[in-house]
Amino acid sequence: MSRVPSVQDILSGDRNSLSRGITLVESTRLSAMNDAEHLLNGVLAKTGKALRVAVTGAPGVGKSTLIEALGMHLVQSDYRVAVLSVDPSSPHTGGSIMGDKTRMPELAKHKNAFIRPSPSGNVPGGIANTTRRAMLLCEAAGYNVILIETVGTGQGDTLVRQIVDIVLLMLLPHAGDELQGIKRGILEIADLIAVSKADRVMIDQARLTANAYRRALHLYPERSRIVKVKTISALEKTGISAIWEAIRDIERTTRENGHFETQRNAQIKTALLETAKTFLLSEFGKSRIIDAAVDNFQQQVTAGTCTVTGAAHELVRIYRTMDSKTDPNVEGSS
Ligand SMILES: Nc1nc2c(ncn2[C@@H]2O[C@H](COP(=O)(O)OP(=O)(O)OP(=O)(O)O)[C@@H](O)[C@H]2O)c(=O)[nH]1
Ligand SMILES: [Mg+2]
> Which stretches of the chain score pLDDT less than 50?
91-98, 333-334
pLDDT at res. 189: 78
Integer CA distances (angstroms), 331 to 233, 234, 287, in order = 54, 52, 9
Amino acid at 204: D
Query: How far apart are the two ends of the chain, measured CA to CA in Å?
Result: 22
**Does the C-beta of 100 come closer than 6 Å to ligand 1?**
no
Could you tell me if the CB of 250 is within 6 A of ligand 1? no
Ligand 1 centroid from CA 214, angstroms: 23
> What's the confidence (pLDDT) of residue 127?
74
Pairing state between β 113-116 and 51-57: unpaired
Distance 300 CA to ligand 1 centre (A): 58
Domain ranges for the chain, please list them. 47-257, 268-326
pLDDT at 223: 78
- 307 C-alpha vs ligand 2 centroid, how far in Å? 49
CB count in 10 Å sphere of residue 273: 11
Phi, psi (degrees; rounded to nearest 5) at 292:
-65, -40
Task: Name the residue of 56, 63, 65 whose CB sits within 8 Å of the most ligand 1 atoms, as the mutation to test its pocket.
Answer: 65
pLDDT at res. 92: 46
Distance CA(57)–CA(218), nearest Å, equals: 22
CATH 3.40.50.300 fits 47-257, yes or no: yes
Percent of residues in the chain assigned helix, strand, coil, to nearest 5: 55, 15, 30
Neighbours of ion ligand 2 (CB under 5 A): 63-64
Q: Which sign does the torsion angle of CA 82, 12, 260, 155 carry?
A: positive
- The ligand 1 atom at the shortest distance from the C-alpha of residue 200 is 1
Return the pLDDT at 117: 81
Nearest CA to ligand 1 atom 9: 62
Taking CA atoms, 291 is separated from 58, 271, 320, 325, in Å, by: 43, 28, 15, 16
- pLDDT value for 219: 81
pTM of the model: 0.89
- Sign, CA dihedral 105-108-113-118, equals positive
CA atoms of 185 and 206, how far apart (whole Å): 21
Determine the pLDDT at residue 330. 66
Q: Is the CB of 168 under 6 A from ligand 1?
A: no
Residue 130's nearest CA partner among 100, 92, 96 is 92
Residue 216 to residues 78, 195, 220, 250, Cα–Cα distance (Å): 37, 14, 8, 20
Residue 111 neighbours by CB distance under 10 Å: 8
Nearest alpha-carbon partner for 190 in 245, 246, 232, 135: 246
Q: Provide CB contacts within 8 A for 190, sequence distance 6+.
A: 56, 167, 168, 169, 227
Beta-bridged to residue 195, according to DSSP, are 171, 231
59 lines ligand 1 (CB under 6 A): yes
The Cα–Cα gap between 157 and 171 comes to 14
Q: Look up residue 220 and give its DSSP letter.
A: S
The answer, yes or no, to whether any atom of ligand 1 lies below 6 A from the CB of 196, is: yes
Q: What pLDDT is recorded for position 58?
A: 85
Helix (H) / strand (E) containing 107: helix 105-109
